[in-house]
Amino acid sequence: MAGALRFFVMKDEPTTHTRGLLAIQEERTKRKAGRLPTIPTRFFLWTLTVLVAWGIFYWKKTQSEIESQKAALFAKQRGVVSELGAKVEPLKRRIEGWTVEASGSYPGDLVAPEQKAWDFTTVPGIYLRLRLADASSPESIRKSVMASLRDGFTACLFREPNPDPSSGPPCKASHDCAPGTFCNEVDHCMQPAQPYNMRTAYHGTRVLGEEWTVGLRAASDDMKMRLLEREFDSAVKDDIPLVIDLLTRAQFFLLVLDEEPEAGAAVRPQGGKPSFDEIQALPHWARVSLFGLKGGSEKALMRLRRSVAAQFVPTGPNAPTDPEILVSQQRQVNSCQLALQVREAIGK
């Protein structure tokens, strides 16, 4: 009886030991108190490790894919250079050599006898106009060639019925244009005009040049690679065949080099070196050279140096007063004066 009573009393005594795992008991206590469970520090460490590992894996995978794209594009470029470059590069190097030679000391005027019997203004040809200081080396020619435009000089010297170069649909590249047209130097879809601007030839074959190759080598993301691939495909499909056709048919190369303005000529009010457009609108000397490209006439056929300082006075109720428009008109008048002087020298 006493033993049974003692057992009953022991059952009623409060227990002081913890049931189950201590960590589980602590979490239960915190939940009852309304506190959120604590996330172990090792969870964050493992999560960060996984993210870093995934990032490294993805970066390596992406770079591997980009390098594969580069290798494929370089292979396509080498194929085009080997197949088509031989049709373009020799003529480009010859033109660059003539241009560098014409930018040196001026040896005097020349009009070859065979030129007098040949009206080059009626046949296909190539035209290039540069600042004299930008024609001293092939590298400087390639950098500055984008400034060359068909202008008042070609309009007054030639009688080709070329349409307004900005009359076609606007474009960003030749693949935006209809068959038989290309994106010209003023970003409009047009048929090639005569004489053919050498600037367009450089632009059309840009994917074969060193600058484009350097850009491809430096590409580091998929977006840049897609743009380069699209540019390459467009050039190969639309631009390069046109360039080869026009350069192959060209019978002459006409070069104009504008010298620096005469001393005392008004330049920009704040001083400094005048731009190429400003030079053409100011009194200055210009050199005009003509080279044959066909049938044993691959040499200088004409070399002239003339002073350009045309005068014109806008009249009428709609005469422009905007300084920029007046400068543009003066540039065209000067260029046309130079063309008329060339016509006079060759008896045309």
Exposed, middle or buried by CB within 10 Å (0-12, 13-18, 19+), for 111?
Answer: middle
What's the number of domains the chain is made of? 1
Cis omega before residue 90 (within 30°)? Answer: no
- Confidence category of residue 25, pLDDT binned at 50, 70, 90: low
The answer to whether residue 167 sits within a structural domain is: yes
Answer with the residue of higher pLDDT: 162 or 243.
243
Is the pLDDT confidence value at 271 over 70?
Answer: no
Contact yes or no for 112/301 (Cβ under 8 A): yes
What per-residue confidence (pLDDT) applies to 86? 77
Answer with the residue of higher pLDDT: 199 or 323.
199
How far is CA 175 from its chain centroid? 16
The answer to whether residue 239 sits within a structural domain is: yes
Q: What is the mean pLDDT of residues 47-72?
A: 74
The neighbour count for residue 248, using CB atoms within 10 Å, is 12
Is the pLDDT confidence value at 156 over 50?
Answer: yes
The answer to whether residue 220 sits within a structural domain is: yes
The overall average pLDDT reported for the chain is: 82
The two structure tokens encoding residue 7 = 């057992």
Segments forming the whole domain that contains residue 102: 54-263+274-346
**DSSP-based three-state secondary structure for 140:** helix
Angstrom distance (rounded) from CA 93 to CA 32: 87
Burial call 116-136: b when 16+ CB within 10 Å, e when fewer: eebebbeebbbbbbbbbbbbe
Strand intervals (E) in the chain: 110-111, 126-131, 182-183, 189-190, 196-197, 252-261, 284-292, 300-308
Q: What is the mean pLDDT of residues 272-279?
A: 83
Angstrom distance (rounded) from CA 53 to CA 333: 68
With tokens 């053919």, the residue in question is 196
The answer to whether residue 145 sits within a structural domain is: yes
The answer to whether residue 81 sits within a structural domain is: yes
- Confidence category of residue 193, pLDDT binned at 50, 70, 90: confident
- Confidence category of residue 269, pLDDT binned at 50, 70, 90: very low
With tokens 């048919």, the residue in question is 249
- Confidence category of residue 60, pLDDT binned at 50, 70, 90: low
What per-residue confidence (pLDDT) applies to 61? 59
What per-residue confidence (pLDDT) applies to 1? 45
The answer to whether residue 232 sits within a structural domain is: yes
What per-residue confidence (pLDDT) applies to 63? 64
SS3 for the chain is CHHHHHHHHHHHCCCCCCCCCHHHHHHHHHHHCCCCCCCCHHHHHHHHHHHHHHHHHHHHHHHHHHHHHHHHHHHHHHHHHHHHHHHHHHHHHHHHHHHHHHCCCCCCCEECHHHHCCCHHHCCCEEEEEEHHHCCCHHHHHHHHHHCCCCHHHHHHCCCCCCCCCCCCECCCHHHCCCCCEECCCCEEECCCCCEEHHHHHHHCHHHCHHHHHHHHHCCCHHHHHHHHHHHHHHHHHHHHHHHHHHHHCCEEEEEEEEEECCCCCCCCCCCCCCHHHHHHCCEEEEEEEEECCCCCCCEEEEEEEEECCCCCCCCCCCCCCHHHHHHHHHHHHHHHHHHHHHHHHCC
Report for 44-53, 68-77, 268-277, 330-339: range of highest mean pLDDT: 330-339
Express each pLDDT in 100-133 by its tens digit: 999 999 999 999 888 877 888 888 999 999 999 9
The answer to whether residue 14 sits within a structural domain is: no
Mean pLDDT check: name the lowest of 38-47, 108-117, 338-347. Answer: 38-47
With tokens 């600037």, the residue in question is 199
Angstrom distance (rounded) from CA 26 to CA 21: 9
The answer to whether residue 21 sits within a structural domain is: no
Is the pLDDT confidence value at 6 over 60?
Answer: no
